[in-house]
Amino acid sequence: MPPPPTSHRRRVATVVATPPHASKSPPALGQERASAQGVAGPEVVHTVTSVSVLGISPCDARSPPPCTASGIWTDFFVGFRCSESAEEHLRIVVLGGGRVGGAIVRDLAAEDDFSVLVVDVDPVRVERLTEFGADGVIADLSTPKNVCKAVTDADLVVGAVPGFLGYRTVEEVLKCHRPVVDISFFPQDAFGLAQLAKDAGVPCLFDCGVAPGLSNLVLGRMEAALDEVQSFHCLVGGLPVERNWPWEYKALFSPGDVIEEYTRPARMRREGKDVTVPALTDVELVNFPGLGSLEAFNTDGLRSLLTTSKAANMVEKTLRYPGHAVRMRILRDAGFFSTHEVQAASGTVRPRDVTEALLFNAWHYEEGEPDLTVMRLVVEGTVDGEPVRHVYNLLDYYNTDTETSSMARTTGYTCTGMVRLLASGLWNEPGLIPPEMVGRNEECFEAILRHLERRGVHLFHRVDQG
């Protein structure tokens, strides 16, 4: 990743004003808008509140843009209104600047053709990411009006908020008629957004991470290439490189998201019938050369594939170091993941709240602590009546040069690859688009793989005939 441009003037603002009305008919990606040049459009007063950690003082956005000694712009601007070269760049707004969102921002901001704005509630995150060439807005994205306000002047939006905010955030972006690529892995059924995406007339690409995401792209490509796909088997997991007792596990996401994965029933397909089984079941040991044996167990990761794929057999399993599943089953079955309140000596508590609080520190990655991502995809089908088996393997590690975690790399760079498909026009079909639909387009699929390879993320493919 190239160093941040020294000439880039960083701007950080805080959203507090009422959002302007979004245009009902946004121009095509990259098309100039008058607001990008600081003229035309509704007049809206945006006041910046003071943010002590950034040294921002209140000011009125209509006044000449002041600049602090540190080079941080202290005015609020509608999207990219203050950018001198915005009319020449594709304006991308990234909603969420966490570990994965941060990797997305850095990757996109390194492109000369993109102007990137990151929006996050954490001022420290925003300030850090402005050092890599992005502009920043500090805003609480749990408030729908702030989402609308943040994307007003965007040509394209990336959703990287926590899962519990994901669906509502994408919904607000579509109401503003903006194209969106999302990685939030929200629990709701994404197809509930289909009509809204159709009415907006823009692409809405969801589940654009590693799995779901890259895994879906592969199955989509196989379904287009083979005469028939009979089975799809996905094994995937993110792990710390060092195994430390008692958990031998850490998470780049909140413990609550992981616990949700272990409590939500796992959907799969067996012999043409969709079935549901408890998570953490059907544990098996799988060997990975150079890594050793890992355990795989059922989780609910197939998502859109259960709607779009005709494969008779499909399953997704999560990979962990051996022994993890039984530890999690003990906690779950003993009630530590329960959301029902219980009476304790100190008062009424929810066991899950206590468990999440304890695991937050236990599963937290220290700065610079290495992780890895491992995935194996097995697709079986037929070509000209003959059986064929395609196997895709991925093993990726923390990048010490960019100080980027493997999970952020594999998830974030798949997302930025999707962004580039829209930016280049390789994909321009509007509506709700799951990754497997993109994978059916060979040119798009190969473009994503090249995009990942240039960033050191390699998906190795072999074919077994007969």
Domain boundaries, the chain: 12-205, 214-407+445-465
**Cα–Cα–Cα angle for 431, 433, 434, nearest 5°?**
160
Task: Give the pLDDT confidence of 16-65 residue by residue, as tens digits.
Answer: 333 333 344 444 554 433 333 332 332 222 323 222 222 222 233 333 33
Half-sphere exposure at residue 256, Cβ-oriented, CA atoms within 13 angstroms: 12
**Among candidate residues 364, 429, 432, 30, the one with its CA nearest the CA of residue 206:** 432
Task: Give the pLDDT confidence of 373-402 residue by residue, as tens digits.
Answer: 999 999 999 999 999 999 999 999 999 999
State whether CATH 3.40.309.10 applies to domain 214-407+445-465.
no
Give domain 12-205's CATH number out of 3.90.199.10, 1.10.3720.10, 3.40.50.300, 3.40.50.720.
3.40.50.720
For the chain, the straight-line distance linking the first and the last C-alpha, in angstroms and rounded, comes to 43
Task: Give the pLDDT confidence of 184-213 residue by residue, as tens digits.
Answer: 999 999 999 999 999 999 999 999 999 999
pLDDT at 362 over 80: yes
What is the spatial distance between Cα 12 and Cα 284, in angstroms, rounded to a whole number?
49
**Residues in CB range of 140: below 8 A, 6 or more apart:** 15, 121, 146
